[in-house]
Amino acid sequence: MTPKRSLIRMASILSTALIAATLSFGQAPQPKPAKEKAPATTSAKHELVDLNKATKEELVAVPGIGDAYADKIIAGRPYKSKSELKSKKIVPADTYNKIASHVIAKHTK
């Protein structure tokens, strides 16, 4: 073997060893931090709107209730339970299903 070939071979071996050593000292991948669990439902955190006392503005703020439904809800007061919105045909069943977790009918005296 010629000295030039020996030198190239030696450089190749050294560079391979250097790369292997560098890779072995690299940090191990860090595990991803566990994501914080979001609340099961965000609707559990909202305040319930009382159908018997809420203002029109409070009713309109409930997702699924617009001006027309708010007016009908106010005109149909008092309610013994929120299910009367459906039974008295104040709102359709689909709308009731959207708003049921946002409203309550507290008994009036």
Instruction: Give the CB-side neighbour count of residue 42, counting CA atoms within 13 A.
Output: 1
Q: What is the pLDDT of residue 17?
A: 75
pLDDT band at 2 (very low <50, low <70, confident <90, very high): confident
Q: What is the pLDDT of residue 24?
A: 64
Q: Is the pTM of this model over 0.85?
A: no
In order of their start, the domains of the chain are 44-104 (1.10.150.320)
**Cα distances (Å, whole numbers) of residue 9 to 12, 14, 20, 23, 100:** 5, 9, 17, 21, 79
pLDDT band at 25 (very low <50, low <70, confident <90, very high): low
Render pLDDT for 36-85 as a digit per residue (tens, 0 to 9).
Answer: 555 544 444 678 999 999 999 999 999 999 999 999 999 999 999 999 99
